[in-house]
């Protein structure tokens, strides 16, 4: 069940017309909580690449602190049920997500995903979480 949930978010988070930088409320929240979009990407990428085995890297929203946070989950564990964070942007690091194109070079895959990120979807998720 969690695998289906994670992947439904993942596919909506991506778009062939994606990329760029988050704007409006999402951009403001990223700057507030990470200092810059580049800092967010650096921190999220490092956490995601560091997942041992299969799992997920996430940008989530903490409803208590009203801040964005980075978390990882092993296997198909759902973000909200395991951390309390509302999932906004997920990076699938199971080998099936990247092996055909990136082989075993997970960092290249993680860094490339931002080029197809659908920040409008992520922004809508943040608005709904708030």
Q: For residue range 99-126, what is the model confidence (pLDDT) as tens digits?
A: 778 788 899 999 999 999 999 999 999 9
Instruction: Report the distance separating Cα 79 and Cα 84, nearest Å.
Output: 7
Overall domain count for the chain: 1
Inter-CA distances, 127 with 6, 105, 124, Å: 19, 34, 5
Number of separate helices (H) and strands (E) present in the chain: 7, 3
pTM: 0.93
DSSP run (H or E) holding 111: helix 106-113
pLDDT reading at 74 higher than 90 = yes
Look up the CATH number of the domain holding residue 35: 3.55.40.20
Give the domain range for residue 121.
2-129
pLDDT higher than threshold 60 for residue 1: no
Residue-wise pLDDT for 43-73, tens only, equals 999 999 999 999 999 999 999 999 999 999 9
């Amino acid at each position: 069940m969690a695998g289906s949930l994670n992947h439904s978010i993942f596919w909506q988070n991506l778009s062939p017309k994606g990329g760029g930088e988050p704007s409006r409320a999402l951009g403001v929240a990223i700057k507030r909580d990470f200092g810059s979009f580049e800092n967010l990407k650096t921190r999220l990428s490092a956490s995601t690449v560091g997942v041992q085995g299969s799992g997920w890297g996430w940008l989530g929203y903490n409803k208590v602190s009203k801040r964005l946070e980075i978390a990882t989950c092993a296997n198909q564990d759902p973000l909200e049920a395991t951390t309390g964070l509302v999932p906004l942007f997920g990076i699938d690091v199971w080998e099936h997500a990247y092996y055909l194109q990136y082989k075993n070079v997970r960092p290249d895959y993680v860094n490339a995903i931002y080029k197809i990120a659908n920040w409008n979807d992520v922004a809508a998720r943040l608005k709904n979480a708030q």
